[in-house]
Amino acid sequence: MEYISTRDTNETPAAFSEILLTGLAPDGGLYIPAHYPEVSPETLQSWRELLATEGYAALVTEVLDLFISDIPREDLAAMARRAYNAEAFGTDEIVRVSRFDDRMFLGHISEGPTAAFKDMAMQLLGELFEYELTRRGQKLNILGATSGDTGSSAEYAMRGRDNINVFMLTPAGRMTPFQQAQMFSLDDDNIYNIALEGTFDDCQDVVKAVAGDADFKAQYSIGAVNSINFARILAQVAYYFALYFKVTESNDQKISFSVPTGNFGNVYAGHVARMMGLPIDQLIVANNENDNLDVFFNTGYYHRKQAGGSIKTSSPSMDISRPSNFERFIYDLLDGEAGRIKDMFGVLVPQGGFNLSEDTKMLDIVPEFGFASGSSTHADRIAEIKDAHERLDTLIDPHTADGVHVARGWLPEIDTDIVVLETALPVKFSETITEAIGSFPPVPERFAEVEGKEHHVVDLPNDAQKVKDFIAQHAAEKEQ
């Protein structure tokens, strides 16, 4: 398997181990596999049986082996076993499903160390990074941006690793107190928290600006943990297969997924799974008030919000107005027209956006891809959390509530059951939960003292050069 950039008209191939450590492609594009491997009905059945008999790590190994040709299979299997275990996820099952409501299930993928679905990818990414860096005798300075959960998941997966430093940008004042405490309470000497002025989109722009400085990136070995790194997408692809197997009895059944999403990585992983052959009917994109994706799927128009960027909401991890992974989907939508992608995302998006409403390819292909979308408001989230608690005796977080609300709207239009991906545990969003049900959400024992710990965070302006200076200073100190 080789990988190419979404913006490379020459389709210059790269190996998985190269894209693992580099993040963005040199031309500013995102790496994607040169083709999607196909999973035959026979293979699908063998994977169903494998999950039942050998567990989740064995299924992950099968998925990885299709996409990674420069790491021995036995090493991939060992990394999967270390990443997915009962100690980290509380159960050997790792991924669970429960009946939620008529025709709806909850896909529980947020039982990891930081109570967010991001752990499903980060725990494996930490193993992959350490493996490849050790093999090369190198070190890596990870630069990431987070709107809430990616940062803590990355830091908990990378903390204490001798060959990795993590520099994580957060939008100052935009995360919940629990999310801030999870990240800022870490005092490992390879973890650096940076609160940046502005929104998540500003943080993400700084990450891309630093990655776009080829000399700096090479000198300081800058890597990425955001979902611009395709290795994270791979880890997420696996749980779509697992959830499908747990909900269905045979492989001739179809199901749909409602996916709360901000950066489009979670739902893009579902798209990859479907392109591989997983029988998915609809992938429902669930936005909050930052509804650029919903607007696109309904109109074909994708616009960049200007002054102020994304809106601050009660589902903050989705407060994103410029989703990075959307470029990967548009590449597929336009049948791999790299030159056009380079113009759209390199020129048109910075200028304001693009419009595909009259594009015949969009009109023809979007229905084939089976995407639907919707959005919700704070009032919708409160209503769904309250209803789930009172009527169904289930407590869901605000992002999952977005997914439930949007799924309800599509039930009359869809023939299949819908799995709503649970993206985080309620404890991370206590203020909204308290507003909805009138009491504080239960705090799992492992998080009981998180909010009382000292914070370790540095404030910086929204300036890529300042961030580069900070990285250079601390990377140099670690080398002394």
pLDDT tens digits, 25-73: 989 999 999 999 999 999 999 999 999 999 999 999 999 999 999 999 9
CA proximity to 381, closest of 289, 460, 297, 312:
289
| C-alpha distance from residue 52 to each of 46, 111, 357 (Å) | 10, 19, 44
Single-letter amino acid, residue 423? T
List, edge to edge, every strand of the sheet that includes 255-260.
Answer: 96-101, 104-108, 418-422, 255-260, 280-287, 371-375
Mean local confidence (pLDDT), 267-286: 96
Residues 6 or more apart whose Cβ sits within 8 Å of residue 449: none
Bridge partners of 196? 171, 460
Give 84's pLDDT tier (boundaries 50, 70, 90). very high
pLDDT tens digits, 2-15: 999 999 999 899 99
Mean pLDDT is lowest, of 240-244, 350-354, 379-383, for: 350-354
CA proximity to 195, closest of 175, 217, 220:
175
**pLDDT, mean over the chain:** 91
What distance in Å separates the CA atoms of residue 174 and residue 241, rounded to the nearest whole number?
Answer: 33
Pinpoint the alpha helices (H) of 140-229: 150-158, 177-184, 200-211, 214-219
What distance in Å separates the CA atoms of residue 21 and residue 140, rounded to the nearest whole number?
Answer: 8
Give residue for tokens 């860096």. 133
CA proximity to 246, closest of 104, 90, 49, 96:
96
Choice between 307 and 411, residue whose per-residue pLDDT is larger? 411
Residues 266, 321: contact at Cβ < 8 Å?
no
Give 428's pLDDT tier (boundaries 50, 70, 90). confident
Residues 338, 12: contact at Cβ < 8 Å?
no
Bridge partners of 361? none
Per-residue pLDDT at 372? 93
CA proximity to 374, closest of 240, 260, 254, 256:
260
Bridge partners of 375? 287
The CATH number given to 96-114+237-437 is 3.40.50.1100
Give 80's pLDDT tier (boundaries 50, 70, 90). very high
Percent of the chain with pLDDT over 90: 66
Per-residue pLDDT at 360? 60
Choice between 251 and 150, residue whose per-residue pLDDT is larger? 251
Domain positions in the chain are 96-114+237-437
What positions carry a catalytic annotation? 118
CB atoms near residue 339 (< 10 Å): 10
- State the first-to-last Cα distance of the chain, in angstroms, to the nearest integer: 39
pLDDT tens digits, 324-366: 899 999 999 988 999 999 999 999 998 889 999 877 666 666 6
Maximum C-alpha span of the chain = 63
Per-residue pLDDT at 363? 64
